[in-house]
Amino acid sequence: MAIKASNRGQISPFIVMDVMRAANARDLAACTPAERCVHLEVGQPGTPAPRAVRDAAKRALDDERLGYTDALGIPPLRERIARHYRDAYGVSVPAERIVVTTGSSGAFLLAFLAAFDAGERVALADPGYPAYRNILMALDLVPAGIVTALETQFQPTRALLDEALGAGRDKLAGLIVASPANPTGSMLSPDALRDLAQWCREHDVRLISDEIYHGIVYGRPAATALQFSDEAIVVNSFSKYYSMTGWRLGWMIIPPDLSRTVEVLAQNLFISPPSLPQVAALAAFEATGELDANVARYRRNRDLLLARLPQAGFERFASPDGAFYLYADVAHMTNDSEEFCRRMLAETGVAVTPGTDFDPARGHAYVRFSFAGTEEDMAEAARRLIAWRR
């Protein structure tokens, strides 16, 4: 008799990682610079961690023991994150409610396990970050996709949530929102976020707010759910604004009723977050000059692509008010975004992500561009795509 594998592992792949693998294989086979890939598939800053963070890490390697830490993170970092919320948002959060995690991925795993029981339904916008859906399914939770549209900048609304509840389905246990959002870059206004928080309170729904792209905005600052709800779970990360993807460090802010539950889960699943990034990350909050210069570069990249991609036929986008993505409607070019992206990579060397990663039902008509890389790469990608589509 064959030994059975768990059904929990039978979830969809994170397609962007498959695209990146194919692009990296092409790079290894490239013989000339013209044959190398231009990577617009992965949401990874093209800059290293801030110099102050790297210097702090070097000192820690020489001076610190770097053993296990408290399961919820080192106290100085939790205190510094609390100060960040006072400075950036005017919100007072006790350090005891802050949990340092192994990336935002670790935060989502802890949040879902602590807040929901198997079989419960958790609402999320389609399109949205695929790992929400896939982690929920791996934990025997039920992702309840809210079909959003360009008219609402692909963000959920009270009316859409009322419609989901009125469809005769089981009650919702949670709602995940993201602002700025992946893959669209769209943002919830403070009023819209307040309205969603109020809706969750009225219906006893746990709100989880993904705020990992805070700091990467091109107009108004992003609001935090903590300004409108003391019951919300807020997730953030050092990966995006702080340009520390490979350091695998994030945090979340939890309501008091989940404190011990999250701590016990963290003890057993992770023991503690990695110690070297925690020590080094203390310096990240003092590097805003360098980090805001990165954001200015993302803005230039965004503006370049918005100006030039229409010449290649990419004309309809969600409003990219934050993050570093363009979510493009390609229904007039293809009905199979995965094959379209494979062909684009093979024929131009430009790697982008098919929309099916973010919206299984409608993503066949969309692709996502990441403009987190260099200005030179954005210009080269635009040049190749314009030539390809002519």
Mean pLDDT of 176-200: 97
Determine what percent of the chain is predicted with pLDDT higher than 70.
98
Look at strands 172-178 and 121-126 and give their pairing.
Answer: parallel
- Phi and psi torsions of 327, nearest 5°: -105, 110
Q: pLDDT band at residue 6, thresholds of 50, 70 and 90?
A: confident
Measured distance CA(253)–CA(211) in Å, rounded: 11
At 261, list the tokens: 């539950």
Whole-model pTM: value is: 0.93
Q: How confident is the prediction for the chain on average, in pLDDT?
A: 93
Neighbours of 68 (CB within 10 A): 10
Among the listed residues 147, 151, 154, 141, the one whose alpha carbon sits nearest the alpha carbon of residue 182: 154
DSSP 9: G
> What pLDDT does residue 1 have?
56
Kindly tell me if the per-residue pLDDT of 23 is higher than 90.
no
Counted residue by residue, the chain has a size of 390
Q: Which tens digit of pLDDT belongs to each residue from 341-368?
A: 999 999 999 999 999 999 999 999 999 9
Kindly tell me if the per-residue pLDDT of 230 is higher than 60.
yes
Measured distance CA(251)–CA(215) in Å, rounded: 15
> What pLDDT does residue 166 have?
67
Among the listed residues 303, 275, 390, 301, the one whose alpha carbon sits nearest the alpha carbon of residue 40: 301
DSSP 180: S
Query: Could you tell me what percentage of the chain is helix, strand and coil, using 3-state DSSP and rounding each to the nearest 5?
Result: 50, 15, 40
Q: Which tens digit of pLDDT belongs to each residue from 278-335?
A: 999 999 999 999 999 999 999 999 999 999 999 999 999 988 999 999 999 999 999 9
Measured distance CA(177)–CA(43) in Å, rounded: 18
End-to-end CA, the chain: 57
Nearby residues of 42 by Cβ (< 8 Å), 6 or more positions away: 16, 20, 370, 372
Rg, Å, the chain Cα set: 21
Element (H or E) spanning 305, and its range? helix 288-308
Outline which parts of the chain fall under CATH 3.40.640.10: 11-46+288-389, 51-286
Kindly tell me if the per-residue pLDDT of 184 is higher than 90.
yes
Neighbours of 84 (CB within 10 A): 17
Residue with tokens 């949205």: 128
Q: What class is the 51-286 domain?
A: alpha beta
Yes or no: say if 52 and 286 are a contact pair by the CB < 8 Å rule: yes
Nearby residues of 279 by Cβ (< 8 Å), 6 or more positions away: 56, 57, 60, 64, 66, 74, 77
Mean pLDDT of 61-67: 92
Mean pLDDT of 56-66: 94
Residue with tokens 């982690």: 135
Residue 18 burial by Cβ neighbours in a 10 Å radius (0-12, 13-18, 19+): middle
Q: Which tens digit of pLDDT belongs to each residue from 160-182?
A: 998 877 654 568 999 999 999 99
Yes or no: say if 324 and 370 are a contact pair by the CB < 8 Å rule: yes
β-partners of residue 250 are 101, 237
Measured distance CA(142)–CA(103) in Å, rounded: 23
Mean pLDDT of 263-278: 97
Fold for 11-46+288-389, please state it.
Answer: Aspartate Aminotransferase; domain 2 (3.40.640)
Amino acid at 29: A
